[in-house]
């Protein structure tokens, strides 16, 4: 087994453990490369099937092609798609001009929290591929997230199975031990567990795997002639493109070998203040 | 991680740095980063300059903090994992906390490592956590240990001081069966013997830390060892038109190929591998260690998560008694009588302490005590008793199926390795059951079809208690209550079995009386019933024999009498002898409906 095989095997093992232990299980799909790789790994683990719902939090400011891509893949791969949104905040005019962290916190963190706990309506794709509102959904007790340890400081301290208390809080200083692939799969009522199958992957590994497996990743990551591309995708309003002529995973891998610029440099909310990420994260942001 | 070659083609080695607090772990890591040019241009000078301006003496440990802050500048680093590379390969350095409060983090970090560098302060000498970490490394199965005697500059690079520590620590390690690769005198602060030799240790002729790291070997693959695949799950996606029945699991050792005859333990079921299923990948000829497999079988057998798949020629042990070494991390001590969950590979069973052989204070390890419990940070030699049989190996023979964790409440509170499989005097019963099950003739009605009809799975509810406790009254009331609420329950009185089925044997042939009783119960359970029973007639206090015969049907134990009785300890529910039958029934049903069986 080479290193990519080892990473794939570990992720598949974690996904299968999650599916075994959590009845109310979902996977967060941001449409980005990491969670799309995770979705692909899920199909590997379950022989082509995706046996749990995928949750996407739609801030309404996403690049429009992201939504098209999401729904096309959902229909093609027969995904149980669940979309959440902070409708009240949007109706009241929430947007990045109110302050980036305020906006992230309302549209992502709050939207996510209430979509996961079922207190807000969820849009679910039915068998005909059409979205319908579903009220009073069951709270999810296992949430699969595509965080990688190398992304930024606060993510490096995560476990594969990381408990969150009823306020979504993450107690970094008092985490359960994790060894020999024995994970935290027992949890108290009103708490949930975040599951991180990609913890050991680096940005380069992700692209190497996309290349190897020919995963149909969204094309925003590639230069289409303007000499610019996204390295990290999110809301159109707050995500900048980078100067790059990379048109394929192969070219991106070469480029990554030379860069010293961090992955999330184009994400404006990270630059807002020093502890932005940790703050968002403590509040439940992925 | 900036890289100019495909990372998947380079070898990666996980190394953990451990040792007593303040013995120089962070300084060593900082020095390794600086001396291997992992820092990038000008970073070292920048941190030195910052220190000079603020009047602080520069330390290499500051590089870790600085890099963490500068994470956003493109270098992958954090307090837990540091990446660097040599010409030979990539390293992931896990900087484990030395403070005792963080022992569980040290264990989490070290459990991922393939090798360890253990630091000992040349001036302070061997300390509490030097010993504790050494012991834990051996229990975690880390065989490649390099001991760095650090701060050698503080003892004037004195060879005698180095030899004294080497001797003392070597003796300690020998006592716990650990053979370190080597001892290296270093000064992380001054840079002696880290990447460069320096000129002050000419009496030392061995490798530097970096040379020692490059000398570490990748573990040999386990493909020549006996096959072990813990069953992780069974998949049937027929609701989306896929009628494959897939046994999922990861190969821990050995190799598996289509056509192989396979045996599942503890159930003893046998079948053959029909195919190795994949998604979007070329057809597999075989699967080996570390690979996640998805297999289909030629003969469909009922198996579930927790069983070990093996070749019939090299079987694991099956027992309910395990002699183990264990370390405890839980806030509450591990105590006899309390129920825990044992997780070994994918098996998960209820477990209690059978006996405590020794409790070692892990920091001293010479002293043992008979305090009757295992406290936080203790290491102990115990015999564990599981409620149901588990299949496992002895750790010295097959590591990954010879180690386990203990869950207390919701959290992993301890871990350990199996030293020996002990007899539980149930081997004959298990063998008889396996032979019987192998030939068992089934109709077309499955247990699931019966459960759909009755609304419940088959289970045995076994009463214990003295003959005056009134347990017969409670058992009768329970049968009536269950049947009146639509359940299919049957009171199997031991006397009825003795009267008829046992009419040809002597009253004192206890062994045969028990066996026949168990077989009758098994048939009733196969018919899908809730079987309620008391066994005083056949003089049985220990229900494990019958539990073995009726497996996988669960046995739910009810004790009627004082909660101080020994049998009450093993019971799922205990009701007072004076309790009116109807109240007792209510208490029993409340617990029974919650029980996982």
User: Residue A14 in 3-state DSSP?
Assistant: helix
What is the chain B residue with the closest CA to A188?
Answer: B410
For residue B238, give Cα distances in angstroms to A80, B244, B246, B247: 16, 8, 11, 15
pLDDT at A235: 87
- Distance between CA atoms of A134 and A115, rounded to whole angstroms? 11
User: Residue A133 in 3-state DSSP?
Assistant: strand
Whole-model pTM: value is 0.86
Strands A54-57 and A81-84: parallel
- Shortest CA gap A284–chain B (Å): 21
Yes or no, beta carbons of A47 and B242 under 8 Å apart: yes
Query: Of A227, A264, A219, which Cα lies nearest the Cα of A243?
Result: A227
Yes or no, beta carbons of B111 and A257 under 8 Å apart: no
- Distance between CA atoms of A218 and A30, rounded to whole angstroms? 11
Instruction: Residue A17: list chain B partners with CB under 8 A.
Output: 232
Strands B229-236 and A242-243: unpaired
Q: Where are the alpha helices (DSSP H) in B140-176?
A: 159-175
Q: What value does the mean pLDDT of chain A take?
A: 87
Burial of B486 (0-12, 13-18, 19+ CB in 10 A): exposed
Nearest Cβ partner for B8 among A20, A208, A262: A208
CATH of region B443-594, choose from 3.40.50.300, 2.40.50.100, 3.40.50.1980, 3.10.150.10 = 3.40.50.300
Question: How many residues appear in chain A?
Answer: 286
- Distance between CA atoms of A230 and A222, rounded to whole angstroms? 7
B163 at the A interface (CB within 8 A)?
Answer: no
Instruction: Residue B409: list chain A partners with CB under 8 A.
Output: 186
Range B223-310 classified under CATH 3.40.250.10: no
pLDDT at B368: 67
For domain B7-214, the CATH class is alpha beta
Tokens 């993510």 label which residue? A155
- Distance between CA atoms of A80 and A123, rounded to whole angstroms? 11
pLDDT at B335: 94
CATH architecture of A3-201: 3-Layer(aba) Sandwich (3.40)
Q: What value does the mean pLDDT of chain B take?
A: 87
What is the chain B residue with the closest CA to A207?
Answer: B6
Instruction: Residue A150: list chain B partners with CB under 8 A.
Output: 1, 76, 83
Strands B308-310 and B489-493: unpaired
For residue B481, give Cα distances in angstroms to B332, B488, B529, B533: 39, 11, 14, 15
Q: Return the residue in A50, A80, A180 with the most chain B beta carbons within 10 A, the one to mutate for interface testing.
A: A180
Instruction: Residue A12: list chain B partners with CB under 8 A.
Output: 292
Question: How many residues appear in chain B?
Answer: 597
- β-strand partners of A81: A54
Tokens 């081997």 label which residue? B427
Query: Of B312, B221, B317, which Cα lies nearest the Cα of B264?
Result: B312
Nearest Cβ partner for B7 among A12, A205, A262: A205
Query: Of A4, A7, A49, A10, which Cα lies nearest the Cα of A27?
Result: A49
- Distance between CA atoms of B105 and B100, rounded to whole angstroms? 10
pLDDT at B141: 84
B238 at the A interface (CB within 8 A)?
Answer: no
A260 at the B interface (CB within 8 A)?
Answer: yes
- Shortest CA gap A194–chain B (Å): 15
**CATH number belonging to domain B317-425:** 2.40.30.10
**Where do the domains of chain B lie?**
7-214, 223-310, 317-425, 443-594
Check residue A267 and report its DSSP letter. Answer: B
- Distance between CA atoms of B357 and A244, rounded to whole angstroms? 66
B589 at the A interface (CB within 8 A)?
Answer: no
Nearest Cβ partner for B71 among A12, A153, A213: A153
Low-confidence ranges of chain B (pLDDT < 50): 1-5, 70-79, 597
- Distance between CA atoms of B491 and B483, rounded to whole angstroms? 11
Number of H helices, E strands in chain B: 15, 24
- Shortest CA gap B308–chain A (Å): 16
Are A29 and A57 contacting, i.e. CB atoms less than 8 angstroms apart? Answer: no
- Distance between CA atoms of A10 and B140, rounded to whole angstroms? 19
B-contacting residues in A 171-210 (Cβ below 8 Å): 175-180, 182, 184, 186-188, 202, 204-205, 208
A133 at the B interface (CB within 8 A)?
Answer: no
User: Residue B76 in 3-state DSSP?
Assistant: coil
pLDDT at A185: 87
Yes or no, beta carbons of B410 and A261 under 8 Å apart: no
Nearest Cβ partner for B74 among A19, A205, A262: A262
A15 at the B interface (CB within 8 A)?
Answer: no
- Distance between CA atoms of B405 and B83, rounded to whole angstroms? 29
Are B473 and B560 contacting, i.e. CB atoms less than 8 angstroms apart? Answer: no
Q: What is the pLDDT along chain A (286 residues), one digit of tens a residue?
A: 888 999 999 999 999 999 999 999 999 999 999 999 999 999 999 999 999 999 999 999 988 899 999 999 999 999 999 999 999 999 999 998 998 888 988 999 999 999 999 999 999 999 888 999 999 889 999 999 998 877 755 555 678 998 887 666 767 667 788 889 999 888 887 788 999 999 989 888 999 999 999 999 999 999 999 999 998 888 888 888 889 999 999 999 998 877 766 666 666 665 555 445 555 555 555 4
- pLDDT tens per residue, range A101-138: 889 889 999 999 999 999 999 999 998 889 999 998 89
- Distance between CA atoms of B205 and B369, rounded to whole angstroms? 42
- β-strand partners of B368: B360
CATH code 3.40.50.620 region(s) in chain A: 3-201
Query: Of B96, B80, B91, which Cα lies nearest the Cα of B13?
Result: B91
């Amino acid at each position: 087994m080479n290193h990519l095989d080892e990473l794939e095997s570990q992720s598949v093992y974690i996904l299968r453990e999650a599916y075994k232990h959590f009845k109310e299980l979902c996977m967060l799909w941001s449409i980005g490369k990491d969670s799309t790789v995770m979705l692909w790994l899920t199909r590997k683990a379950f022989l082509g099937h995706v046996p749990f719902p995928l949750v996407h939090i739609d801030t309404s400011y996403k690049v429009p092609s992201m939504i098209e891509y999401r729904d096309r893949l959902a229909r093609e791969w027969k995904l149980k798609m669940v979309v959440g949104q902070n409708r009240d905040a949007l109706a009241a005019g929430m947007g990045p001009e109110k302050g980036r962290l305020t906006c992230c916190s309302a549209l992502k963190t709050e939207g996510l929290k209430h979509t996961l706990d079922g207190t807000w309506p969820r849009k679910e794709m039915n068998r005909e591929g059409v979205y319908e509102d579903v009220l009073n959904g069951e709270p999810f007790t296992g949430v699969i997230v595509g965080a990688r340890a190398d992304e930024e400081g606060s993510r490096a301290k995560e476990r594969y199975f990381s408990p969150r208390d009823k306020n979504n809080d993450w107690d970094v200083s008092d985490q359960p031990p994790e060894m020999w692939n024995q994970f935290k799969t027992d949890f108290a009522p009103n708490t949930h567990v975040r599951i991180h199958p990609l913890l050991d992957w680096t940005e380069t590994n992700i692209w190497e795997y996309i290349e190897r497996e020919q995963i149909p990743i969204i094309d925003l990551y590639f230069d289409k002639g303007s000499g610019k591309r996204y390295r990290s995708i999110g809301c159109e309003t707050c995500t900048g493109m980078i100067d790059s002529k990379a048109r394929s995973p192969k070219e991106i891998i070469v480029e990554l070998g030379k860069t010293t610029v961090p992955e999330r440099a184009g994400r404006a909310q990270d630059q807002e203040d020093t502890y932005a990420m940790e703050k968002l994260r403590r509040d439940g942001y992925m | 991680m900036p890289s100019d070659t495909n990372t998947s083609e380079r070898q990666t080695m996980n190394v953990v740095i451990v040792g007593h607090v303040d013995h120089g772990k962070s300084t060593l890591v900082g020095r390794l980063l600086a001396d291997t040019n992992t820092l990038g241009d000008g970073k070292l000078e920048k941190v030195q300059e910052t220190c000079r301006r603020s009047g602080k003496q520069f330390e290499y440990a500051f590089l870790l903090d600085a890099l963490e802050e500068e994470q956003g500048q493109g270098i992958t680093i954090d307090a837990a994992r540091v990446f660097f590379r040599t010409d030979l390969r990539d390293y992931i350095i896990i900087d484990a906390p030395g403070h005792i409060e963080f022992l569980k983090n040290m264990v989490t970090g070290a459990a991922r490592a393939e090798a360890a560098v253990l630091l000992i302060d040349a001036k302070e000498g061997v300390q509490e956590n030097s010993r504790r970490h050494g012991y834990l490394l051996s229990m975690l199965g880390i065989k490649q240990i390099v001991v760095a005697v650090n701060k050698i500059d503080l003892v004037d690079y004195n060879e005698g001081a180095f030899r004294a520590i080497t001797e003392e620590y070597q003796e300690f390690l020998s006592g716990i069966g650990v053979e370190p690769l080597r001892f290296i005198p270093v000064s992380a602060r001054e840079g002696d013997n880290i990447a460069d030799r320096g000129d002050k240790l000419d009496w030392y002729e061995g490798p530097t830390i970096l040379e020692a790291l490059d000398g570490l070997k990748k573990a040999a693959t386990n493909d020549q060892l006996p096959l072990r695949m813990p069953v992780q799950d069974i998949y049937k996606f027929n609701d989306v038109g896929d009628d494959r029945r897939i046994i999922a699991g990861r190969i821990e050792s050995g190799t598996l190929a289509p056509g192989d005859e396979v045996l599942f333990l503890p159930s003893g079921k046998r079948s053959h591998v029909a195919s190795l299923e994949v998604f979007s990948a070329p057809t597999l000829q075989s699967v080996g260690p570390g690979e996640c497999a998805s297999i289909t079988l030629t003969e469909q057998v009922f198996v579930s998560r927790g069983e070990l798949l093996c070749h019939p020629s090299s079987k694991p042990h099956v027992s309910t008694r395990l002699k183990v070494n264990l370390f405890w991390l839980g806030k509450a001590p591990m105590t006899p009588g309390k129920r825990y969950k044992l997780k070994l590979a994918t098996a998960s069973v209820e477990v209690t302490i059978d006996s405590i052989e020794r409790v070692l204070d892990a920091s001293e390890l010479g002293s043992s005590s008979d305090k009757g419990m295992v406290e936080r940070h203790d290491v102990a030699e115990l015999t564990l008793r599981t409620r149901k049989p588990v299949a496992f190996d002895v750790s010295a023979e097959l590591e990954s199926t010879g180690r386990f964790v203990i869950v207390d409440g919701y959290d992993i509170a301890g871990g350990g390795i199996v030293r020996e499989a002990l007899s539980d005097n149930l081997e004959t019963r298990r063998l008889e059951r396996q032979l019987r099950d192998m030939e068992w003739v089934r109709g077309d009605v499955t247990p699931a079809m019966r459960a759909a009809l009755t609304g419940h799975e088959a289970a045995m509810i076994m009463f214990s208690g003295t003959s005056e406790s009134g347990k017969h009254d409670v058992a009768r009331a329970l049968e009536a209550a269950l049947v009146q609420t639509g359940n299919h329950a049957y009171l199997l009185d031991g006397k009825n079995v003795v009267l008829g089925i046992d009419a040809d044997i002597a009253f004192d042939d206890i062994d045969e009386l028990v066996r026949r009783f168990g077989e009758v119960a098994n048939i009733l359970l196969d018919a899908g019933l809730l079987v309620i029973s008391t066994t005083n007639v056949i003089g049985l206090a220990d229900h494990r024999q019958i539990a073995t015969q009726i497996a996988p049907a669960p046995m739910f134990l009810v004790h009627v009498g004082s909660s101080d009785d020994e049998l009450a300890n093993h019971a799922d529910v205990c009701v007072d002898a004076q309790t009116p039958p109807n109240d007792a029934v209510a208490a029993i049903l409340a617990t029974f409906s919650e029980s996982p069986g």
